[in-house]
Amino acid sequence: MLEAIKWSQPDDSFQGSLTGRDFLQLSDFTTDEILYLLDVAKELKALQKHGKPHHYLSGKILGMIFEKSSTRTRVSFEVGMMQLGGQAIFLSSKDIQLGRGETISDTAKVLSRYVDCLMIRTFSHNGIEEFAHHATVPVINGLTDLQHPCQVMADLLTILEHKGKLAGLKLCYLGDGNNNMAHSLMEGAAKVGMHISIASPSGYMPDGKITEKAIKIGAQTGSTIMITNDPKEGILDADVVVTDVWTSMGQEEETEARIKALQSFQVNKELCKHAKSDFIFLHCLPAHRGEEVTAEIIDGPHSVVFDEAENRLHAQKAILKELLIK
């Protein structure tokens, strides 16, 4: 290894292999596997920052299917594959036969013959699970309406960088709890021993099955899960404060009702007085300043949203490397 570069090397005690696995939700992975991926992400980030080539995936091709538009997901995966020495192909659902009625199973089987890995950003989580069932190459969840695991890996990496640890910290998510970010944050926090509170109004509570799963995971890792309708209770003594847009793609007709229901869950200076004085603020972006968060917070000294956005690249490179290298 290059002695001039100081990074946290992946834990030598990890003896497992992630090769050939799908990356659909964090609950599919053990605590050790998630922490190992974060270590790999730190190593890859250090290599990039020092301008050192890391072409682990030379000759590999990633197919990227988009049913939902994206900035960060597309660019970070495409750039990530290039930096790893591979290539990425953008596949809009409007341009492939999947968007014209070809079955998920046929599309998965055909594309598996062409590429080494598939990343899908779509609406239906059941759909991506069906796709993965029929594909013979690893499938990565770039986002579904139910889960956003790649984003939460970037979030965990960002928290680790700024706080120096994960276990024992308190994370508070404010806003629509029946949301892919809230769900993946619950699973991710529980896996790494973080305490998490989800503060949402009635009618916007997280999925019951995912909540139950996170509670069971937390019982083994020392993580606690709080679900509350009181934003002050949720944010109390939080080390990390997280929110997301109130209206996601496909929910535009609900915009007015959502703004009315969620306005008391806005992340603002007054509410953040109840968090720890050194809290950090995360948002997966894009953000609507003046809705889910004020400009004073997202553009202020507690915000690490652009470190978080950059870390999509490094976290996903770690996932790609470990799924594709034998």
3-state helix/strand/coil string of the chain: CCCCCCCCCCCCCCCCCCCCCCECCHHHCCHHHHHHHHHHHHHHHHHHHCCCCCCCCCCCEEEEEECCCCCHHHHHHHHHHHHCCCEEEEEECCCCHHHHCCCHHHHHHHHCCCCCEEEEECCCHHHHHHHHHHCCCCEEEEECCCCCHHHHHHHHHHHHHHHCCCCCCEEEEECCCCCHHHHHHHHHHHHHCCEEEEECCCCCCCCHHHHHHHHHHHHHHCCCEEEECCHHHHHCCCCEEEECCCCCCCCHHHHHHHHHHHHHHCECHHHHCCCCCCCEEEECCCCCECCCECHHHHCCCCECHHHHHHHHHHHHHHHHHHHHCC
Task: Report the CATH number at residue 237.
Answer: 3.40.50.1370
Does 143 map to a domain?
yes
Instruction: Check if 121 is active-site.
Output: yes
Query: How does pLDDT run across 159-191, given as a tens digit for each residue?
Result: 999 999 999 999 999 999 999 999 999 999 999
Same domain, 233 and 298: yes
225 found inside a domain = yes
Per-residue pLDDT, 11: 57
Catalytic residue among 195, 258, 312, 314: 312
Q: How many domains does the chain have?
A: 2
Does residue 100 have an active-site annotation?
no
Query: Of 151, 195, 258, 283, which is the active-site residue?
Result: 151
Tell me, what's the pLDDT at 95? 85
Are residues 140 and 81 in contact, defined by beta-carbon separation less than 8 angstroms?
no
Contact 36, 71 (CB under 8 A): no
114: in domain = yes
- Looking at the structure, do residues 181 and 253 belong to the same domain, yes or no? yes
* Euclidean distance between CA atoms 230 and 129, whole angstroms: 34
Catalytic residue among 21, 125, 148, 183: 148
**Adjacency order of strands within the sheet including 225-228:** 225-228, 195-199, 170-174, 240-243, 280-283
Co-location of 257 and 197 in the same domain: yes
Active site residue 21: no
**Residues in binding site for L-ornithine:** 180, 244, 248-249
Which of the following is catalytic: 176, 195, 244, 266?
244
Which residues are annotated binding-site positions? Answer: 70-73, 97, 121, 148-151, 180, 244, 248-249, 284-285, 312
In the sheet where 61-66 sits, what is the strand order?
A: 87-92, 61-66, 117-121, 139-143
Q: In this structure, are 98 and 230 located in the same domain?
A: no
> Residue 183 catalytic?
no
CA gap 154, 308 in Å, rounded:
6
148 has catalytic annotation: yes
The domain in which residue 273 lies consists of 150-308
Same-domain pairing of 53 and 160:
no
The answer to whether residue 2 is domain-embedded is no
Indicate whether 137 and 164 sit together in one domain. Answer: no
Residue 101 CB partners (closer than 8 Å, separation 6+): none
Give the length of the chain.
326
- The amino acid present at 112, given as its one-letter code, is S
Q: Are both 263 and 155 inside the same structural domain?
A: yes
User: Is 13 contained in some domain?
Assistant: no
Residues 317 and 290 in one domain: no
Say if residue 182 is in the same domain as residue 210: yes
Q: Which residues are annotated as a binding site for carbamoyl phosphate?
A: 70-73, 97, 121, 148-151, 284-285, 312
Provide the token pair at 239.
């080390």
Read off the pTM.
0.95
**Residue 3 domain flag:** no
Q: Residue 54: is it exposed, middle or buried by C-beta count within 10 angstroms (0-12/13-18/19+)? A: middle
Domain check: are 284 and 161 in the same one? yes
Instruction: Give per-residue pLDDT as tens, 207-229.
Output: 999 999 999 999 999 999 999 99
The answer to whether position 110 is within a domain reads: yes
Q: In terms of domains, do 103 and 182 share one?
A: no
Dihedral (C-alpha) 49, 55, 56, 62: value to the nearest 10 degrees? 100
Along the chain (326 residues), what's the average pLDDT of each consecutive run of 10 residues?
A: 39 78 98 98 98 97 94 97 98 84 94 98 96 98 97 98 98 98 98 98 97 98 98 98 91 90 98 98 98 98 98 98 94
- Could you give the CA distance from residue 130 to residue 141 in angstroms, rounded to a whole number? 12
pLDDT value, residue 7: 41
Does 95 share its domain with 137? yes
Residue 10 lies in a domain: no
Catalytic residue among 121, 183, 283, 314: 121
Catalytic (active site) residue 278: no
